[in-house]
Amino acid sequence: MATETTGSAPVSTCVDAGGSAIGMPQLCFDWFPNQIFWLVITILAIYFILSRIALPRIASVLAERQGTITNDLAAAEDLKHKAEEAEQAYDKALADARAKAQAIAQETRDEIKAELADATAKADAEIAAKAAESEKAIAEIRASAMENVEAVAKDTAEAIVAALGGKADAKAITAAVSSRIKG
């Protein structure tokens, strides 16, 4: 490996006079302490920087982001619920209004019906009264007509009897006319 080069003295056991490596520089034990020392320093430095500053920070950022996402999702869920509630309230209000309208319509209809019935009854009563009045008048007229007929018949009978030369007996004539009219 570390073959001695001829000519000028090597700078070290691992580098020849021309500045080239002798063998594998990886196996040059002269350099090991240096590399190991700086490696340990570097690793410790990185470890402390990462574990003290970078990793807690990233962990907190990730947790915070997770929290934000969860919160936002919850808020979205909440808003969705609210929207659904509002929709339900709207539907309910609509249904209520519809029912109310229907009730009002029904009420009005009933009122009108009642009024109508009232008016009809009144009219019926009036009609009935008028009819009764008329009937009465007709009956009166009929009765008076009957009387007139009786009187006329009596008179006519008396006149006929007189004309035939008989002496009219008023009582007999009345009885006869009455029985004829009734009969």
Residues at the site binding another protein, with contacts judged by CB under 8 A: 1, 5, 11-12, 14-16, 18-28, 30-43, 45-47, 49-51, 53-55, 57-62, 64-65, 68
Minimum CB distance to another protein smaller for 59 or for 114: 59
Give least dist CB 5 to another protein, A.
Answer: 7
Q: For another protein, which is the closer residue by CB, 12 or 106?
A: 12
Q: How far is the CB of 76 from another protein (least distance, A)?
A: 17
Q: 172: exposed, middle or buried (C-beta count within 10 Å: 0-12, 13-18, 19+)? A: exposed
Cβ atoms within 10 Å of 149's Cβ, excluding its own: 13
Q: Nearest approach, Cβ of 68 to another protein (angstroms)?
A: 6
HSE-CB for 125 with a 13 A CA cutoff: 5
Name which of 60 and 120 has its Cβ closer to another protein: 60
Q: Is there a contact between 181 and 153 (Cβ–Cβ < 8 Å)?
A: yes
Task: Specify the length of the chain in residues.
Answer: 183
Q: Which is nearer to another protein, 11 or 94 (CB)?
A: 11
**Closest C-alpha to 168, from 156, 150, 151, 178:** 156
Collapsing DSSP to helix, strand or coil, 7 comes out as coil
CA–CA distances in Å: residue 171 to residues 44, 157, 161, 174 = 163, 12, 13, 5
CB of 81 to another protein, least distance (A): 25
> Nearer Cβ to another protein, position 44 or 105?
44
Nearer to another protein, 15 or 176 (CB): 15
Contact criterion met (CB below 8 Å) for 31 and 13:
no
Nearest distance in Å: CB 39, another protein: 5
Q: What is the amino acid identity at position 17?
A: A
Neighbouring C-beta atoms of residue 82, cutoff 10 Å: 10
Q: Smallest distance, Å, CB 80 to another protein?
A: 23
